[in-house]
């Protein structure tokens, strides 16, 4: 099930897309169809960000489960310099990427960030995340409607001396 092309974003194509069975799409995916002119809080999948497990977060976010793939490249440090600012970068050679998500499994809420990748945008993103403790970090790529993951372990401890 590939996403209806949002651009050019004429009323007719948008309406046809919505008529085309929005019921099967989760709220998150449906909201991708509507053009938004500024960041809109309604786009934010609050429930997905409250989940404690990877599977639950992905179920709410994409409505499906994921499988590992070597076509997803996750760059994360082996030992985090500081758990408050951990540089993370993910890229993929998979086709038609429409979404990327980053999960930090040992954080109180596993989903750290999700990104919508419209047509014409490269399947790669870099960011800086917070990690509560030593954890597995999972990158999820949504390609042709299916989810593929790569993961890395990041050691996180308190920095510095005494106190």
Min dist. Cβ of residue 130 to another protein (A): 5
Min dist. Cβ of residue 71 to another protein (A): 18
In DSSP terms, which residues pair with 92 in a beta bridge?
A: 72
Three-state DSSP state, 132: coil
Residue 36 binds another protein, judged by CB under 8 A: yes
Measure the CA–CA gap between 48 and 22, rounded to whole angstroms: 19
Is the CA virtual torsion 95, 101, 104, 109 positive or negative?
Answer: negative
Sort residue 55 into left (φ over 0), alpha (ψ -120 to 50) or beta: alpha
Q: What is the DSSP string of 58-81?
A: HHHHHSS-EEE-TTEEEE--SB-S
Q: Which of 105, 124, 133, 136 binds another protein (CB under 8 A)?
A: 124
Q: Which of 89, 105, 136, 146 binds another protein (CB under 8 A)?
A: 89
Residue 38 binds another protein, judged by CB under 8 A: yes
Q: Which of 59, 71, 130, 133 binds another protein (CB under 8 A)?
A: 130
List of residues contacting another protein (CB under 8 A) = 6-7, 9, 35-41, 43-45, 49, 77-82, 84-87, 89, 104, 107-109, 111-118, 120-122, 124-132, 155-163
């Amino acid at each position: 099930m590939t996403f209806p092309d949002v651009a050019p974003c004429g009323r007719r194509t948008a309406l046809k897309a919505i008529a085309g069975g929005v019921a099967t799409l989760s709220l998150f995916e449906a909201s991708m169809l509507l053009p938004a002119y500024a960041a809109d809080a309604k786009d934010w999948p609050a429930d997905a960000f409250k989940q404690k497990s990877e599977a639950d977060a992905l179920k709410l976010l994409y409505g499906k489960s994921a499988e590992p793939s070597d076509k997803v490249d996750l760059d994360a440090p082996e030992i985090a310099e500081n758990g408050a600012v951990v540089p993370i970068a993910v890229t993929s050679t998979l086709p038609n990427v429409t979404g990327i998500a980053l999960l930090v499994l040992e954080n109180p809420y596993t989903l750290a960030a999700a990104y919508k990748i419209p047509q014409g945008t490269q399947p790669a993103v870099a960011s800086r995340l917070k990690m509560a403790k030593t954890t597995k970090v999972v990158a999820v790529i949504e390609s042709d409607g299916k989810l593929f993951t790569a993961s890395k372990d990041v050691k996180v401890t308190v920095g510095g001396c005494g106190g």
